[in-house]
Every structure is written in C-alpha cells, then in structure tokens.
C-alpha cells in the first residue's frame, strides 16, 4: 500500500537508528529496585505476611476489630457476608481474602487451639484439602468469648490508633492481648525474601511460662513449656535437646506423627489424629500409590470415615497382618509422620526479627507493660479530671447561697459560667460542671456523698500513681491477668509427647528376600556373606596378607549384625546390606562400609538374633562386665550406639553369651592364668558399666587376653579355676600354654 504524502519519511540508515537509540532513557537497576520493588517488598513484610507481637497479621487484626465494633463480642451471630462487607472499610484486599481469613480463625475450621470466631455453618477443615467451606452468604459468625482478652481496655488508650487506608476511620495498630497470643496461635506467612512459621503452644502452659519468666528471667522454659501443642493433636517425637535449641534460636523442626488404634473385632486400624502439616487426602493418596506399586500388600482397603464426631481414617487389614509393623511402614513412607519447620520471625517495632521463645516472652512482657502503664495513666487522668470537678463543687457547696444568687442575678445565659469563675476562683471546666448540676441535687445528702467521693478519689489517684511508678506492681498486674486467662480459658494438651525409649515401634521389614547365608569376618575388619551354593563350590577363603579368620557362622540374609569397635562404639547393620560374595574375594571393609570414625578399628562382629543373652567384656585392668544383650536393641533406625562398653580400660576379650555358663580363661602379663564361669557374674542393663574385679593383678601387671576355655590349649583347667572372685589364678604351665587355632563365633 502506497504511503500517504502527509506521513513522515523514516530514515532507516545507521545514523537514523543511532538517533532513535539516543531517545531511549536509561535508568540504573539499583534505582529501579529502590523505587519500584522495595516499596512492594516492605509492604509485604510489614503490612501483610509477618505477624507482630500481639500474634496477628494486619488482616487478622482488621477483621477482629471490625467484628468488635459491630458488637459481635456479646451480640448474636450475623451473616459472614455482612462481616466481610464491613471489614472492607479497613481491608481493601477484597471479599475473598477477608473471608478466607475468617475461615482460618473460626471454630469450625479447627486451625487454632483457641479460635477467635464462633462460627455456624460449613467452614471446612484444616486437615482436609478438598473439603471446601461454604460461601459467606450461607454461614454466620460472632466473636468467641476469648476475644474479650484481646480487646480488654482497648478504649483506655492502651494501644495506638492509626488512620485506615482512606483516612475515614481509625483502627488499632496492635491489639492489647492479656496473654502471649503470638505463641498460642499458629501463624504462617511468606513475605519477600523472608518467611514466618510459628507453631502454636498450649495456652495454660504459655501463661505459666510467661509468669515464670517474669519472676525469674533465667528459668528453664522446658519445665513449664515442654513442646508445641497442635490443634490436630498427634504425638511429638520428643527430644529435649532439640527442643531447647528451637527455644534458643527460634529455628528448627518438630517431628509429629499420627495417633491410631487397632480394632480387633473388625481387624482394622483407625487413625484419629494426624500431623498439623498433613491432610487426609494426601495420606490416602500416598497409601494408594504404595498399594499400586506393590510396596504395601497388607491393606485390603482404606477410606475416610470423618464425620461430626471428628477425623477418622480406617484401614482394613488382610488376615494375619501385624498392625504395629504395618503402621511402622506407613509412618516412614507417608505423611502420617511429618515435620513442622519452626521459624519464629516476628515484627518488633516494624523490624522483622527471628527470636527464641525466651526473647519473644521478654518482648511481649515489655510491650504488655507499656499497655498496662498506658491504661493506668488513662485511668489516673480520668480520676484527676473527676477530682478537679469535685473540688470545684466542694467550693460551691461551701456557699451554695452565693452560687444561687450569682446565677439568679445574671441576666445573660452566656455570663453564668464567667460569673461563677470570678465568684469562686474556678476554671471554665469546673464552672461548666457546676452550672449543669440539677436543682434537686442541692441537698445535704448529695453534698456529703460528693465530699466522700473527693476523699476516695484522692486515695485512688495516689494508688494509681504508685502503680505507675512501680515496675513490680506493673508486673504483678500482668501476672494476675495471666493467671485469670489460664484458669478461664486453659485446656489440656491435645498433642502428647513421646520419648524415644517409649516408642513402641517395630522396624518395618523391607521387601528383602530371606535365605540362608554363611558370614565371615576377618581380624582385619573385612566381612563377606556367601550363599550355601557358592560355599559348596568355593575353595579356601581369601584374606589380606597378615589377616586371618575371626568369625564364621551360619545366618540368614535378614539377620542383624553388631560390630564392636575399639572406640567404645557399636554399629548396627543387616546381612542384607552386603552383596552376596565368594570365597575368592576379600569382602567389604567394615570401617568404610559403616562410615566409622577415622582410626576406628573392628574388635568383633556378632549376630544378636532375638537379643536374648548377654555380652561379656574382659578389661585390661582385670575387671569383667556382663551386659544384657537387650541393651543394644533399639526401636529406631539408629545405626551407631556410643558408649557400647566401658571406656575406663581397654578391652582384652568380648564374647556373645547365649548360655549363662561359659568358662573363660584370662591371661595376665606375669604368666598367670585364671578360669572363671560367666554364671559367677551378675547381668547389668547399663552398657558402659565398669564391671567387677575378676582377676587380682599384681602391681604394674595387666590382662593380656581372654578366650573361651574351649578355644584355649589348657589341659588341666582345674588348676586355674577360681571358686570365688576376684582371684589371682595360677602360673601357666608349659603344656597349657601351647598355641591353638581360635575361631571366634560371636
């Protein structure tokens, strides 16, 4: 199409292009970020996502204050749509966002231990991903009674009020909560470059801890606040050291698992409490995936039977299934056990800070002290104003006739107040008050009562002034209010604590084939397992130069192994973790395979079986300890146990005893030998027991080794046998000192 004559001709040469480029304005990227991005980031941090010391985000505070001004603390419920509409005068983010905020604060949603909205209708469930809440036109709400503690004395100048977004009304910058709500209510927020994730704690425990902290800043928080308390219940896998670290730093992770029960009549499992971070749909979906993949074969059906009585997930079991083993498997593979990541990031004076629980309580106490002081000062000023008026009344009542005369002789109404001011030497406020007194109140009874009020007010003003100037009295007021809240609204814990030694948990069996094997361990720390077929076809076992056989025993592929080391530790593993081997290879080097510490060497390998029996340790100092084998049995997946035996003296012999009457020969460095029966020693339950004296050693003499009598070369054991311990033994004769090939079968 031809260009019109009126259109300017575009010069497309290089010079023209350069001219066009010259017209493009340039702006430094740091300036762009500062002017465009930073205001948004600060708004998200300060005015949206991060809670403040009262425990609320702005959206929460605007909603609750609107409901308070609507009279919903004491009045009847109203439609949620009405509340949402009224809240938009303070919160311009739209009705959907406001209603979602209300849903989370409601009793019906069960997201909070102490909900702030008394709801009626379907508000969904925090533990359900798909259960949608009803529209705001169908539900009703009012404030829960606990909200009286949020708004107590809010009209007594306890907190600052600021303009709303269009400066048409005022709203509180914080709510004067009488308890540390910041630790009671769960709160999660994602801002720009930072986030906040505060778990809820039990209200009664928080109040008790705040009181203890006020009385003694060095108190142990774990004594009164052992762990978080989640609205959905469950069990916390409790570790006091981990919890103390979370309390100190404000960061960490809390492990929570579901609660369940086995119903024998129907051969089914009922799950009735789940972790706060999990949902019923996610759990069911994960179990279904495991069933499809063939990893879970013990379940015939799983369904959600949640009703008005509460959450319930039902699992139908196949015949012969052990419910403990199945749940151990599900806890490991599904959201039935989950972690709550803690990040105690809170706005303090507009600045985000990650604080520990102790710091949070200190900040809350300091802020609450200011609220109480402002309330006391407000009351003091009101009483001073009242006293000021009554003092004027006292002057008037001393000569009431003069006052009446002044008023009657005043021609203009506007001159009544000035004449009273001149006649009695009072100010305008006092004169206005006197002028408004009714004629019927000018009697003796009224006068006497007002004079009594003056005396009472003077005493109250003095008391309030003393309170305002005394930090101790302010603290006592806070403590009294905390006790009242704890007694009135406190509830028992929903989330129980379970220590590691209390966990009744069966290690889930992996889908590992079980078949007979023969295991070999060398003195140098090499290990291999060989199937019967390979063993029949193989020749002589291969060892590294200078190494030799220490243990050879028949076992199964699923059998557990205990590997004792010279660093007083024992490593737990299974035969299935080692590949099937042959006689012609060295096998796996245990220190590398088990991730042992640098310089750590293997002393012995044993197969504990059902953990019935004991371990015998003979030490260089002549002592021996017999430890119950069950002391090495753990319910968790721990692979390394420290303190496997006493570190007071080097070990010179260790034996697995399935029978309690084994004969042990102990050899000393002075050529003596002692034989004793293991039945002479009492079994100890503590792994690192120092044991009892067995061989009485001479000065500077030590035990060199200890072996089972059946593995020794002793021909005449009666010569060295001791009837009572400790004993010195006897000098070893030549015929008893011959070397014998020893095979340690542990």
* Domains parsed from the chain with CATH numbers: 56-176 (3.90.199.10), 259-335 (3.30.1360.40), 516-736 (2.120.10.90)
The two tokens of residue 266 are: 């129907």
CA atoms within 13 A on the CB side of 706: 29
Helices 95-105 & 80-87 angle (0-180, nearest 10): 120
pLDDT at 205: 96
CB 635 within 8 A of CB 504: yes
Catalytic residue among 40, 65, 133, 138: 138
Alpha-carbon distances of 327 from 304, 322, 334, 499, 593, rounded to whole Å: 17, 9, 10, 18, 30
Alpha-carbon distances of 38 from 29, 32, 34, 165, 339, rounded to whole Å: 12, 9, 5, 20, 33
Is the CA virtual torsion 359, 365, 368, 369 positive or negative?
A: negative
The two tokens of residue 589 are: 């080097």
pLDDT at 485: 96
pLDDT at 685: 85
Whole-angstrom distance, CA of residue 709 vs CA of residue 516: 29
State pTM to two decimals.
0.67
667 in active site? no
CA nearest neighbour of 514 among 575, 583, 582, 563: 575
For 522, list phi and psi in degrees, rounded to 5.
-100, 165
Ranges in the chain, pLDDT < 50: 1-22, 508, 741-746
- 663-668 and 602-606 beta bridge pairing: unpaired
pLDDT at 739: 61
- Report the residue count for the chain: 746
Whole-angstrom distance, CA of residue 321 vs CA of residue 489: 44
pLDDT at 14: 42
């Amino acid at each position: 199409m031809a260009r019109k004559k009126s259109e300017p001709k575009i010069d497309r040469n290089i010079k023209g292009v350069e001219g066009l480029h010259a017209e493009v304005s340039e702006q430094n990227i740091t300036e762009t970020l500062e002017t465009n991005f930073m205001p948004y980031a600060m708004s998200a941090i300060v005015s949206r996502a991060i809670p403040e010391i009262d425990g609320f985000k702005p959206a929460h505070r605007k909603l609750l204050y609107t409901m308070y001004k609507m009279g919903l603390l004491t009045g009847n419920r109203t439609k949620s749509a009405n509340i949402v509409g009224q809240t938009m005068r303070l919160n311009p983010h739209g009705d959907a966002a406001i209603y979602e905020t209300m849903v989370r604060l409601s009793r019906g949603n069960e997201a909070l231990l102490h909900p702030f909205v008394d709801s009626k209708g379907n508000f969904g469930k925090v533990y359900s991903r798909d259960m949608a809440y009803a529209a705001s036109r169908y539900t009703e709400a009012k404030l829960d009674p606990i909200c009286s503690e949020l708004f107590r004395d809010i009209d007594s100048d306890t907190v600052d009020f600021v303009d709303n977004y269009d400066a048409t009304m005022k709203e509180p910058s914080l709510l004067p909560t009488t308890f540390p709500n910041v630790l009671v209510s769960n709160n999660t927020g994602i801002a720009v470059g930072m986030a906040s994730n505060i778990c809820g704690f039990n209200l009664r425990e928080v109040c008790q801890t705040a009181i203890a902290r006020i009385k003694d800043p060095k108190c142990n928080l774990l004594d009164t606040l052992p762990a978080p308390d989640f609205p959905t219940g469950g069990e916390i896998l409790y570790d006091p050291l981990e919890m103390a670290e979370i309390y100190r730093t404000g960061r960490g992770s809390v492990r929570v698992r579901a609660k369940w029960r086995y119903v024998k009549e129907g051969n089914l499992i009922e799950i009735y409490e789940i972790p706060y971070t999990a949902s019923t749909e996610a759990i069911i979906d994960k179990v279904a995936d495991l069933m499809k993949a063939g990893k879970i074969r013990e379940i015939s059906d799983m369904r959600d039977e949640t009703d008005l009585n509460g959450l319930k997930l039902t699992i139908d079991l196949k015949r012969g299934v052990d419910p403990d083993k199945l749940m151990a498997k599900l806890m490991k593979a599904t959201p039935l056990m989950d972690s709550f990541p803690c990040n105690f990031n809170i706005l303090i004076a507009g600045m985000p800070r990650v604080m520990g629980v102790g710091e949070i309580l200190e900040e809350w106490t300091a802020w609450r002290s200011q609220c109480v002081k402002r309330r006391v000062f407000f009351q003091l000023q009101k009483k001073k104003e009242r006293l000021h008026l009554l003092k004027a009344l006292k002057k008037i009542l001393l000569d009431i006739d003069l006052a009446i005369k002044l008023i009657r002789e005043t021609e203009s109404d506007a001159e009544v107040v000035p004449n009273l001011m001149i006649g009695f030497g009072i100010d305008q406020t006092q004169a206005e008050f006197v002028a408004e007194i009714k004629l019927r109140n000018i009697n003796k009874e009224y006068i006497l009562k007002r004079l009594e009020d003056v005396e009472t007010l003077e005493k109250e003003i003095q008391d309030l002034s003393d309170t305002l100037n005394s930090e101790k009295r302010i603290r006592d007021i806070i403590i009294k209010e905390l006790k009242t809240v704890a007694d009135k609204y406190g509830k028992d814990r929903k989330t129980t604590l379970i220590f590691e030694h209390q966990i009744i948990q069966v290690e889930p069996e992996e889908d590992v084939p079980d078949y007979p094997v023969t295991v070999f361990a060398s003195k140098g720390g090499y290990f291999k397992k060989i199937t019967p077929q390979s063993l029949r076809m193989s020749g002589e076992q291969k060892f590294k130069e200078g190494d030799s056989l220490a243990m050879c025993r028949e076992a199964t592929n699923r059998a557990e192994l205990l590997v004792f080391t010279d660093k007083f530790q024992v490593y737990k593993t299974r035969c299935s973790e080692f590949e099937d081997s042959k006689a012609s290879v060295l096998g796996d080097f245990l220190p590398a395979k088990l991730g042992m510490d640098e310089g750590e060497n293997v002393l012995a390998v044993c197969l504990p079986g059902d953990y019935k029996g004991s371990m015998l340790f003979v030490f260089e100092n002549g002592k021996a300890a017999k430890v119950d084998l069950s002391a090495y049995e753990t319910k968790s997946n721990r692979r390394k146990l420290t303190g496997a035996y006493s570190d007071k003296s080097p070990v010179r012999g260790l034996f697995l005893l399935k029978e309690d009457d084994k004969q042990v020969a102990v050899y000393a460095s002075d050529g003596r030998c002692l034989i004793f029966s293991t039945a002479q020693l009492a079994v100890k339950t503590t792994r690192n027991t120092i044991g009892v004296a067995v061989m009485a050693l001479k000065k500077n003499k030590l035990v060199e080794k200890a072996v089972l009598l059946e593995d020794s070369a002793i021909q005449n054991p009666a010569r060295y046998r001791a009837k009572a311990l400790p004993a010195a033994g006897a000098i070893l004769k030549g015929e008893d000192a011959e070397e014998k090939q020893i095979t340690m079968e542990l």
